[in-house]
Structure 1
Amino acid sequence: MDLLLDAVCVVDVQGCFVFVSAASERIFGYTPAEMIGRPMIDLVFHEDRARTLQTVDEIMSGQSQPHFENRYVRKDGQVVHIMWSAYWSEADQLRIAVARDVTERKRADSMQAALYAISEAAHAAEDLLALFQKIHRIIGGLLPAVNFFVALYDKNKDALTFPYYVDEYGQAPDPQKLDSTVPSAEVIRTGRVLLLTPDTAAPRSGGGLPQVGRDSLNWLGVPLNTNKGVIGALVVKSYSAEVRYTEQDIELLQFVSDQVATAIERKQMEIWLQHLARHDPLTGLPNRELFHDRLETALHLAKRNQTPLSLLYIDLDKFKQVNDTLGHPIGDLLLQEVAHRLKHCVRESDTVGRIGGDEFLVLLNGSPQSDQALLIAEKIRAALDRPFDLAGQRAHISPSIGVASYPTHSADCKQLIRVADEAMYVAKKGGGNRFQVAS
C-alpha cells in the first residue's frame, strides 16, 4: 500500500483520520503521525468545507462518489486539488478513500481556460474598465486576488496611472512619474517580476512598500510586455499572513500577463480607432458626425424636459490670410489653439466640434436662456480676438458667430445648424468679429 502514488485514507464516523498511507505525506505535507486523530475537515480549504461535508453525508448514506474533487491546504500553506474515490463501510463504521493529487492537471486546465477567457474578454468588453473587471475575475480563479490592480504607463506623458484598482484597505494612488518609489513603477522600469513579503519589506520602508491596515502584506507584480515594450503591470496583494504568493503563483501570473497585455493593447487600439472615426484628428474635437449625434440627443432631451438649448456657429475671420502668409503648419497650430480656447469658454457638459476647415460648432447643452447664450458668445468672441503666439509667429484673427436656439428657431437638428450658419454669415457680412442672433 505504501508503494502507491495515491494516498489511502481511513476516517472514522466523527470525521477523524485513523489511518493514512505513506503517500499522504507527499500529497498533504504531514506525516501519518501528524494526521492520525486529526479531523479531516481541518485540512480542507475553507471555501470547500461546506460542499465537502455535504458529500460526506451522501457517502455515509450509501451513495458512491468515485470522482469527487475538492481542495486541501498543505502543511506549507499551498493549496492542492484532490480527486477522491470514497466508500462507507457500514460494518466497520469507517470511510475509506483514495486521494489523487490533480493539482498540476487542474492548473494546466485553468491556465488554458484563462487564456481563452482573456482573449474572449478582449473582444467582448465595451471599454477598458469592463476588460479589467473581467481580467480580475479570471485571475481570481487562478490565485488569491481579492486585492488586484492594473497600472498603465503612458510614455508620451511620462504618466503612470491606475485605471483599475481594487483594494480592501486603500484607494487608487494619484498618477505617478515612472521614477517614483511605488513598486509598480519599479516593475515597469525594470521589466522584471517583483515579489514583496514582510521579510523583504523592511529595507524598503522609505516608501517602496505600502503598509496598509495590517502588519503582513504580500505584494506580487508582473510586467505587461508587448512588442512596443512594457506598457504596465499586473499586481495582486494579500493582507493575510495565511496567503503567501509562491513560485507557482509567479509563473501563473507571468503566463497570463502576456495575454492580458495583448488584450489591453488591442482594446486600446479599438478605442483609439473609434475615437479617430468620430473626432477631428487635428484638434481632437468631435467631428461633424459625432456633433450631429450629440445635438440630436440634446434636442430629444430638451423636447422631453421642455428645456431650451443654444447652438453657436463659428467661422474664423482672416484665417485664410494666416495660412497664406505664415504657412499651413502655423495654420494647424492656430486651429488647435482655437479649439483649446473654445473649450475653456464653455462648461464640461457643453460640446465643441470642428465640422471642417475653420468652422466650429458649440452646443450649449440644457442651455441657459438666450441672454446667457449671448454672454457665452461674447466670451468666445473676446477669447478668439486675442493674439495667438504660434511657434515664434504672432497671428491675429477674429470670429463671426451665429446664434440659434431651440425651441425659438427650430426643433430639427439640420435646420437648427442651417439657421445658425445663416446668422453667422450675417455677422461676417457686417464686418466680422461679432455675433448675430438668428432672425
Structure 2
Amino acid sequence: MGDDRAANSSADAEQLAQRYRSLVEHAPDGICVHDGRRLVYVNPATVRLLAAHDAGELVGEPLTRFVHPRSIPAMLDRMSRLDTEGSASDRTEMTLLRLDGETVQVETVSVRTPWFDRLAYQVVIHDLTAQRAAEAGQRLAEQHFTTVVSQLEEGVVVIDRDGRIESANPAAVRIFGAGAHDGDLTGYTIGELPMELLDANAQPLAPSRHPIARTLATGETITGYVFGVDRADGQRRWLSGSSRLLNPDDPESSAVSSFADITEFRASRRQLEYQATHDSLTGLANRSLILSQLASALATSEDLPVSTVLFIDLDGFKAINDSLGHAIGDTVLQIVAQRLQRALRGDDLVGRLGGDEFLVLLSGATRRFDVDALVERLRATTAEPIVARGHRIEIKASIGVTALDSDDHRTPEAVLHDADLAMYRAKTTGQASGLRPNNTHAS
C-alpha cells in the first residue's frame, strides 16, 4: 500500500512538472534561468527576444553578454539581495542586448529558485517594445494635440469636477484678458479670474449658471450658447461657446469648454440690424421699422401701446432742394429730425418715411387736447429758423392726426393712408387735421 502511494505521488509530481514545463515553453514572456554567471535555460520566447536562432546560441553564455552595461550594476545589486529560496525582486526595467546588436527595453522579475542541486535565478522577462511604441505614439499625439490647441484662435479651457481650471490654451488667456495671472490659469476657478461673466442679455451670470456647470452636473453636451466677459481692462468680449465632457464614458470626467470671440461679428450684426431698421441720414426709425411697430401695436389684444399716429410733411421742402441744393436740404432734414425727437417723450417713436415725410407713434393713452397741444409744439419747434451754410431757412410742417381704438381693425398701411389724408387736409387749411377710425373731422 505504501509503495502505491509513493508511486502515485511520484506520478503526480511528474505530471505537475510536465505542466509547468509546457507552460514555460509556451509562455509569451521570456523565461530564463542563470546561476549568477551563465545562462542555463531559456524558453522559446527568450530565444526570439534576443534574436537567437535556437537555445544553443544562448545557454552557457555569460549573462552579462546580453545585458547593456548601464543595466549591469543595478542587476548585480538586485541579485545580491536574493539570498534565500523563494525571495523575489521588484519589477524592474532594464536594457538587454540582442545578438543582432539591437537593444530592447524589458521589465524583469527575478526569483531565487532551486535548479537541480543548487539555487539559481529564474527570470521572467516582459518585452516593453510594444508598450514603449504605444507610449511614444501617445506622447506624439498629445504633443500634436497640444500644438494644435495652442495655435487655435478659439479658446479652450478644461475644468475639473471642482470647477477649477486644469488647462487653458493661449487663446483663452488672451480672450479672458487674464494678464494678472501671468498667462497661467491652472488651479483657478472662473470666479477667481479678473473678469465678470455675462449672459446673452448682458446681465451678470454666476459661474454656477454657466453652461459648463450644467455639463459637469449632468454630462450634457451644450453647443452654440452666447456669453460675455467684462475684463479687468474694461473691455467687454462676446463669446460663442460649447461645453462637453472630456471623456463621455467617465461620469467623473472633467469638462472642456471651447469658445470663439464674436465681439466684432456681434457688433457688425447689430450695425447691420440698425442699418436695416434706421434711416441713414437722420438716424430715425425707417419706414420698415415704424410700420412694424405699428403692426405690433394693432395686433395686441390688450390696451393699445400706441394711441395716436401723426403724419408730418415739411411745406416747401422741394424748393429748398431746388434752390439751395441737396446738401443743405439734407442738413434741414437732420435738424428737423433732432427737433422732433427732443419734442417727444422717450416712449414715443418718430421715423422718417422718406423724403420730407415723418411719422410719429404716440405711446399710451392720450387725450385729444394733449394731442392738439403736442401738434402745436411740433409745428412751433419745426418753424424755428434753421441756419445752414450761411443760409437762414424757415420751414413749416403740416401734421395729420389719426387715433387708434382698442378694436381697430385697420392695417398699418390703412392707418398710414388715413394719417396721410389728414396731413393733406392740414396742408390746405394751414392747421392740423384729425381723422378718427370711424369718423373724420378737422381740428
| Rg comparison, structure with higher value | 2
Mark yes or no: TM-score above 0.5. Answer: no
Q: TM-score range by the shorter chain?
A: 0.3 to 0.5
* TM value normalised by structure 1: 0.44
If the length of structure 2 is used for normalisation, what is the TM-score?
A: 0.44
